[in-house]
Amino acid sequence: ALSVSPPEAKPESDEPVEQDAPPAAPKVDSKSIPSASPASPSKAPAVAPAPSGGKVYAGPAVRKLARELGVDLVLVAGTGSKFRIIKDDVHDYVKAKINAPASANSGAGISAIPDIDFSEFGEVEEVPRSKLHKLTATNMHRNWLAVPHVAQFNEADITDLEAFRADLKAEAEKKGVKMTLLPFLLKACAKALEEYPQFNVSLHSSGEYLIQKKYINIGVAVATEAGLLVPVIKNVDKKSLWELAAEVIELSDKAKKRKLTLEEMQGGCFSISSLGAIGGTGFIPIVSPPEVAIIGVSKTQIKPVYIEGEFQPRKMLPFTLAYDHKAVNGVDGGLFATYLAKLLGDIRHMI
């Protein structure tokens, strides 16, 4: 938080001084401004009624503070004599910007969607959103705007995988672990990340280089009553299917009980979002930076597949690979998705 400095010891000149901001700063018509009164602490600072020509009333100490904080003094309302800007005005302006709630409907350069009085059309009720729902919405909105998404659609023939999983049922009961499809997805994704390490990277904010990761941690999206949580399973490539199955159950249970630690939700390289239990033929998941890719898995369907001169019923798993085109090329996306389908189609390739 910013500390508020005490008022200047010496009075500063009320003479306007040429502002360091760009000369194209907006001008304000003084006739359209009502008589000013000292700013209330509970209100966000308004645009300052700066004199024409981009000049503002502020002393050297205030200007230095504004430069350090990256504040354009043209936008700051002065509460001193003759609208002179003091240090408290700069601090209040910065605090208001930091604490201002982001609009749920606006984006970079996009005007907000106006609110409508829906009660004109019938009975309505305002339903408060949880903190997690609001945080998820903010992150998803930011990610969708910041990442140029490309989606690669594919299907995997998991007929043999499902037969093998059914054979493990008795062993799973003895171990007290439910063997779902997810551990196989985790192992397949880890193997694909090893084969195509260009997906196991993060793009540095400067855009000058990529950070190549030598570890494989995969996040798994879990829907809870409070909202979406993504626990991260560490070192997937080094764990067995049984270890992954147990960890998936443990972390999913902790997520639903809101008992995940911060450490258990950090360090992901890649993510899996599965709607297989719900249905649907496909969807495009949103990449969550600093990761550069995610897969969305839909419901398995039995389809006729032409094999060796005849159609055979096969269990086909539709999935979508979404990736950040700033970091990953389209050809690599196609290769990754094809390789992932190959691994799921013949689990011997995971060994």
pLDDT digits (tens, 9 = 90+) for 303-320: 999 999 999 999 999 999
| pLDDT value, residue 177 | 94
* Rounded CA separation 44/94 (Å): 10
Pairing of strands 270-274, 218-220: parallel
Task: Write the CB contacts of 50 (distance below 8 Å, at least 6 apart in sequence).
Answer: 19, 25, 27, 28, 56, 73, 74, 83
How would residue 30 be classed by pLDDT, with cut points 50, 70 and 90? Answer: very low
Least confident of 107-111, 204-208, 321-325, 347-351: 107-111
How would residue 97 be classed by pLDDT, with cut points 50, 70 and 90? Answer: confident
State the virtual CA torsion across 73, 74, 79, 83 in degrees, nearest 10: 120
pLDDT digits (tens, 9 = 90+) for 248-282: 999 999 999 999 999 999 999 999 999 988 888 99
CATH architecture, range 133-350: 2-Layer Sandwich (3.30)
Q: Is the CB of residue 319 less than 8 Å from the CB of residue 155?
A: yes
Secondary structure percentages of the chain, helix, strand, coil, to 5: 35, 20, 45
Active-site residue, 325 included: yes
Give the number of C-alpha atoms closer than 13 A to the C-alpha of residue 126, restricted to the C-beta side.
5
Looking at the domain covering 17-99, what would its CATH class be? few secondary structures
DSSP 8-state class, residue 124: -
Q: Tokens 């003084």, residue?
A: 30
Least confident of 121-130, 131-140, 167-176, 201-210: 131-140
**Intervals of CATH 4.10.320.10 along the chain:** 17-99
**Intervals of CATH 3.30.559.10 along the chain:** 133-350
* Rounded CA separation 168/173 (Å): 9
| pLDDT value, residue 350 | 87
Q: Which tokens sit at 270?
A: 């890649």
Average pLDDT in the chain: 85
| pLDDT value, residue 2 | 42
**pTM metric for this prediction:** 0.69
* Rounded CA separation 340/333 (Å): 11
Name residue 222's amino acid.
V
Choosing from 133, 141, 325, 349, which is the catalytic residue? Answer: 325
Helix (H, G, I), strand (E, B) or coil at 305: strand
| pLDDT value, residue 83 | 85
> Average pLDDT, stretch 176-192?
97
Q: Tokens 């008992």, residue?
A: 259
* Rounded CA separation 100/113 (Å): 17
196: nearest Cα among 293, 271, 282: 293
CB count, 10 Å around CB of 124? 10
Task: Write the CB contacts of 121 (distance below 8 Å, at least 6 apart in sequence).
Answer: none
pLDDT digits (tens, 9 = 90+) for 105-132: 555 567 778 899 999 999 999 999 888 8
Least confident of 105-114, 188-197, 280-289, 340-349: 105-114
